[in-house]
Amino acid sequence: MKSMLLVLAAAGSMLVAGAANAQAGADLAKAKNCMGCHDVAAKKVGPAFKDVAAKYKGNKEAEAKLTTALKEGKGHPTKVAATDAELKTLVQYVLSTK
């Protein structure tokens, strides 16, 4: 019984952490002006985040590839002025959209 409660508590913590990371990613996308060219669900100047997530679904190298594209401006119109940690948060957020 005690181990069952620990498992449930851990699962709950992961859900809360996931929601917090998603909110941090959404806030960062707004702060870095990603939303000027992108939308979560609809194509604007750039692709919708959900379309990017669908394109890279199951691709283990997606996070590294997208982070590099944003950092270096290769395959993306401009370099994104962000720290490595911010880029990682942004990319994880985009890849998690549905």
Query: Do the beta carbons of residue 91 and residue 67 sit within 8 Å?
Result: yes
The answer to whether 23 touches 94, Cβ cutoff 8 Å, is: no
What is the number of domains present in the chain?
1
Structure confidence at residue 73 (pLDDT): 87
User: What pTM value is reported for the model?
Assistant: 0.77
Q: What's the chain's Rg over C-alpha atoms?
A: 16
**Residue 79 banded pLDDT, cuts 50, 70, 90:** confident
CATH number, domain of 92, equals: 1.10.760.10
Q: Give 42-64 pLDDT, tens digit per residue.
A: 999 999 999 999 999 999 999 99
Q: Residue 31: which of 75, 93, 76 has the closest Cα?
A: 93
28 is in which domain, residue-wise?
2-96
**Helix segments in 32-83, DSSP class H:** 49-55, 62-72
Helix/strand/coil for 36: helix
Q: At what angle do helices 2-31 and 84-96 cross, to 10 degrees?
A: 110
pLDDT-based confidence at residue 15 (cuts at 50, 70, 90): very low
Quick check: 11 and 17 in contact, CB under 8 A? Answer: no
Average pLDDT over residues 21-30: 87
